[in-house]
Amino acid sequence: MTSTGLILKDVHLGIGGRTLLNGLSLEIAPGEIVTLMGESGSGKSSLIAYICGSLDAEFDVAGSITLEEQDIVSLPIERRRIGVMFQDDVLFAHMSVGENLAFAVPKGIGKAERQRRVDDALVEAELEGFAARDPATLSGGQKARVALMRALLAEPRAMLLDEPFSRLDATLRERVRNFAFTTIKRRNIPALLVTHDLQDKTDRVITLGTANN
Amino acid sequence: MARPLRDVSISKSALARNPFGWAPPLTFAIFVGPILLGLFGTLLPSFGLQPALGQFELSLNPWCAFLSDPALVKSLRLTLTVGFGATAIAVIIGFGSVATLYGTRAFAVVRALLAPALAFPHASFAVGLAFLIAPSGWIARLLSPWATGWDQPPDLLIIRDPDAIALMLSLALKESLFLILMIVGALGQINAGTMMRSARSMGYAPARAWLLVVAPQIYAQVRLPIYAMLASALSIVDMAIVLGPAAPPPLAPMTLDWFRELDTARQLMASAAAIFQLLLVIVAILLWRLGETIVRQSMRGLLTSGIRHGWSERIVGSVGKVGIAFALVASLGAILMLIFWSFAGTWSWPSALPEQWSTAMWVRSVDTLAELVGRSAIIGIAVSAVATALTILCLEAGVGRSTPRWLAILYIPLLVPQISFLFGIQLLWNRLWLDGTVVAVALTQLLFVLPYVFLVLSDPYRALDPLIAIAARSLGASRVRTLFKIKLPLLARPVAGAMAIGFAVSVGLYLPTMFAGAGRIDTLTTEAIALASGADRRQAGIIAFALTVLPFMALALVNLAPNWERRTSR
């Protein structure tokens, strides 16, 4: 295993004197998707927030997180370059599907190239011709695919998936899950999925104990 | 799956047998009737028609007289400066400040200060602010003579300046607080937190992420309140009398002056001016809409340019932060001034504090004060109670559950310039032998209080779990019993809050009180405005301070109501 992936070392999370995570260490190599399985209340969503940088200040935290050998704990969200796929798709309602995607393309790229990347993303998500659509008109599975493509267009160094399939119905969940896993693998970045769905199996599954008070 | 079914069954049973079905038509009549009659009663005289006086001949003279008035052009320019200037600055401060403060501790502080700052009536804010920034005011005192070299108050037009800049800025600061409260409310309606995390995880700086992703969606939610701000800024009277220029004043105060003259020709001219302001507000809102489209189009490029941070959001954010600081400091300073002046014994220039403190003026004013406070409070309690009762009955009858169109009707008194229909309403009360009575004042105030009460109460009312009422009724309680024994006790806090807001609005109303009272019903607000231009700052300070205290007390009392909301929602 290389040291260039996402590495958690001895991570502790707690809130109000209650321990959520007690010394979690984990290495995720580029191209690997690790599943963190746990009941609600086991601190898995807080861990996602801690890695992504959006954890509330009221949490007590300890432990290091490095990504591509850089310590990211002290960086604000926007400097971490970690993509997140949330439970809700959070597509921006005032932008078209194409604009949502273009929003994520890094700056300093010419107009034609931006457009090409957006088009490629739509093709990859099997959503050709959807650029002008209003996100509200998309189905749940389509929204999830756009949300993932948007996160990936920002060229993240790692991906976090916070129960992204739980809102989809069973048949759709299977398809979107396969799409997400192959698409992320293609980017060759480390990814962490938290879920309580036993079907969400990936390269490696780690089960968290329920809130070990 | 369970959700839609649940809703369907509720609306069916509500339609089947609703003991509150009479409430919406009654409210509609009380609400829309006077407005339409009022507009009509202003429109007729503007064409020379005065059925009451036997004048049935159509004439364009009032319009000609109004349009050829030498002060019109200047007055119109002032009106547009104040209307568009104050609204635009308030919007920039409102959105800019929330963009930089969102998610910070300072934002929590600002949020906590919003409610008291909003309870501060416009009239007493204006009086206190005048004491603060006038050439003889506190700021000049603090800086003189050591920094300014002034041995006596300088002959500067800091307030009441001929271009109405002081009025525009003061109003912008006051309205920015209102807008921020609206923005805070709208933030709860969209998934703002997750959208911010999403945009930031793509590398966007926080303020830029907020402006590009959250702000456009918030704007759609607060558009109507912004139009109401624009309409009221275009037709502001109370603050204009205190802080605005006099020769000429903006259109609305000028129209009020004409109405007050006993000359019939002047009053007809004033009717034309009042109708003109209605048209002006309509055109202004259309222009604002056009502006929205232009801004949206020019922002489109920014959305997809991929630029993660830059100067623009820092500039807007800084303007917002400075603006909100000014707004809060101005509010605090204004209250301090009212307290200082009302307790000032001798206070010569340029002392920063009175040489002598004294309660003499309070003692001397106690009778007047008791009368004014009593009258303002009684009207305020009556109006807010009726407005709250009507709102509850309408909500119980199902208003606003399916069609948001009702809300648009509610906004009419806030979108139409007050002066455009108050003259006609005064004529209506006159026909009914009610003009100059407390009843007429209360009925007129109801038009402006009801919208706020409805807007404040409808969300918590609908948020109450419908299963609670169903459970009560399945135990055999009637709808009426369920309302009084279950729903209202559970909603005690929001109901009390809505009443307090209604009370605060009522106490602060100037023009409606003025017109419906036919100048014979004095309240704290009318008296504060009347004294503002007078020589005695002590007396104005006392009245304006009392005017400030009343709504604050009402809001403080809300905390006594039991708060079940938090317990049931968690």
| Confidence at residue A148, expressed as pLDDT on a 0 to 100 scale | 94
User: Can you say how many angstroms the Cα of residue B288 is from the centroid of all Cα atoms in its chain?
Assistant: 19
Chain A partners within 8 Å of B304 (Cβ): 99, 102-103, 105, 114
Non-local (6+) Cβ contacts of B379 within 8 A are: B438, B441, B442, B445, B506, B523
Query: If you search the block for the tokens 């991906």, which residue do you land on?
Result: A159
How many CB pairs lie under 8 A apart between chains A and B? 86
Non-local (6+) Cβ contacts of B387 within 8 A are: B446, B449, B450, B453, B454, B502
- What does each C-alpha distance from B279 to B69, B332, B512 come to in angstroms? 18, 37, 20
Q: Is the pLDDT of residue B2 over 70?
A: no
Chain B partners within 8 Å of A95 (Cβ): 303
Residues B376-406 have pLDDT tens digits of 999 999 999 999 999 999 888 877 665 556 6
Neighbouring C-alpha atoms within 13 Å toward the C-beta of B495: 21
* Mean pLDDT score, B444-461: 90
**Does the predicted interface ipTM exceed a cut of 0.85?**
no
Q: What is the mean pLDDT of chain A?
A: 89
B201, B204, B211, B307, best to mutate vs chain A, most A CBs in 10 Å = B201
Q: What is the mean pLDDT of chain B?
A: 89
Chain B partners within 8 Å of A93 (Cβ): 190, 217
pLDDT tier at B11, thresholds 50, 70, 90: very low
| Confidence at residue B8, expressed as pLDDT on a 0 to 100 scale | 43
CB count in 10 Å sphere of residue B516: 28
Residues A1-56 have pLDDT tens digits of 446 899 999 999 998 888 888 888 999 999 999 999 887 777 888 899 999 988 88
| Confidence at residue A171, expressed as pLDDT on a 0 to 100 scale | 83
Select from 1.20.1050.10, 3.40.50.300, 3.40.50.1360, 3.20.20.190 the CATH code of A6-93+140-207.
3.40.50.300
Amino acid at A122: L
Residues B340-377 have pLDDT tens digits of 999 998 888 888 899 999 998 899 999 999 999 999 99
Percent of chain A having pLDDT more than 70? Answer: 96
DSSP β-bridge partners for residue A9: A64
Residues B110-123 have pLDDT tens digits of 988 888 888 899 99
Going by the DSSP 8-state scheme, the letter that residue B145 receives in this structure is T
Residues B528-558 have pLDDT tens digits of 999 987 778 899 999 999 999 999 999 999 8
Rounded to whole angstroms, the Cα distance separating A159 from A6 reads 10
pLDDT tier at B17, thresholds 50, 70, 90: low
Residues B121-169 have pLDDT tens digits of 999 999 999 999 998 889 999 888 888 888 888 888 888 899 999 999 9
Instruction: Assess contact for B439 and B528: CB atoms under 8 A.
Output: no
Q: Give the chain B residue nearest A155 (alpha carbons).
A: B202
Using CB atoms, which residue from B217, B308, B309 is nearest to A93? Answer: B217
Q: Give the chain B residue nearest A82 (alpha carbons).
A: B201
Strands A204-207 and A158-162: unpaired
Sorted by where each starts, the structural domains of chain B and their CATH numbers stand as 17-45+77-355+365-569 (1.10.3720.10)
Residues B183-193 have pLDDT tens digits of 998 998 888 99
Is the backbone of residue A126 left (phi > 0), alpha (psi -120 to 50) or beta? left
Q: Is the pLDDT of residue A211 over 50?
A: no
pLDDT: which is higher, B485 or B406: B485
Query: If you search the block for the tokens 């970045």, which residue do you land on?
Result: A189
Rounded to whole angstroms, the Cα distance separating B550 from B370 reads 12
> What is the phi/psi pair of residue A3, to 5°?
-100, 10
Q: Is the pLDDT of residue B559 over 90?
A: no
